[in-house]
Structure 1
Amino acid sequence: MVFNLGKHSSSQFNQEMEAIRSDLLRMGGLVEQQVSDALESFLQADSALAQQVQQVEQEVDELEKHIDEECARVLALRQPAAIDLRTIIAVSKCVADLERMGDKAAKIAKLGIQLNEEGSLTTGQVEVRHIGERVKTMLHDALDAFARFDAHKAVAVAVADNDVDAEYHSAMRSLVTFMMEDPRSITRVLKLMSVFRALERIGDHSGNLCEQVVYLVSGQDVRHLSPADMQALLEQR
């Protein structure tokens, strides 16, 4: 379901709303690149790229503050209603999730530098790549769903989050077994576990973005609904 926004009678207000949406998508693009670069830097032991990921974090934080300020200004001066109000609320929540994803990407990059300095750790590399690619796709699709107000695509991302969670738990069980077999690896494996946890959280935050898309389209708070229940809600419209 692709939802078309209505136009407000004030062209200035329309421009302000469009600027807020554009800023959110620009922030999303930065975070998407952060996640991609963090994964690449980790897998390729590229410390220079990892440092670049951490440097982008400041730009993401500045965008977060700017968007929050614009949302507060529009709420105070325009007193939006209906879809405009839902958009402001959704953007405010999405901005927080994007900022946290940027934090997690920076954490992955930092852990990659540490592991590279401590020596190679071959276990878990395949799983990091696989889960990382799935999470990257989730984030990309979540941002695309928001840009297009495509609620059905948003629900599909929520389904993918369940799959990522299952793979995450499987990888963690394997790492616990590995530590038991080789106690000397415990310190490094714990850091690798933190990488998996960061990727899993990025997936969760991507799912949160999609919940906001469904909220925008349906007007219903779906934060505690299953993907199947969200789909059923959309089919009722």
Structure 2
Amino acid sequence: MTCADIFKAYGEQMVDLIDLLLMPLFLKSSQDKRFVCEAAEAALMSMTSWISPSVLLPKMQPYLKNKNPRIRAKASVCFSKSVPRLGLEGIKEYGMDKLIQVAATQLSDQLPESREAARNLSLELQAFYEKSQASGLGEDDSAPAISPEAETWEAFCLSKLSALSAQAILRVTVGVPVTPKEGGISAALKEGAVPAALKEGGISVVVAPKEGGVPVATKEGAAAVGC
């Protein structure tokens, strides 16, 4: 009987052993030996299917910050697959804000496997959030109230995450493009505006005006640079 079969057969009775099994399974699923890797991955998938996510998620969350990027990647995959099993009420109880912060952190992880798991998690959370808004569960007295500023998914992300993290989540879920910073050099270049003079390290660079495509001589002591 494999470890995957044991999780399937005993289910919740394995809860007390999860802490002992997680690290070995994450390590073995990261190995180059195909047989060992496949067996460990099958065990992890069986674990996410047969162990309650409300029990499993808190135990897996510390591994999302492990120094080993391969362990983080395997933990991210298991975490993202467990979250949908919470259901709408379970996600609200666990904390939508906590889950979206996990997704935002993993989106910038080193390995593509982690980032892909984070993208899947972000899309799942968006679907659950919009479903909760549509069903009006946020107005129920027994559920945590949702502030007026967080009625939309975009507003919720901006209220719970830093600007950069929210932008990363929204780029995945709603396709928000990266906009240049207003008033910055990028915006100026985008609009075709070039400053007359830029000073860097005490050196002046003067943009010479043109007449008929030929730079006009500038004042003595200034270096003309044609643009």
For Structure 1 versus Structure 2, the TM-score category normalised by the shorter chain is 0.3 to 0.5
Bigger Rg over Cα? 2
Higher relative contact order (CA 8 A, sep 6+): 1
**Larger fraction in helix:** 1
**Larger fraction in strand:** 2
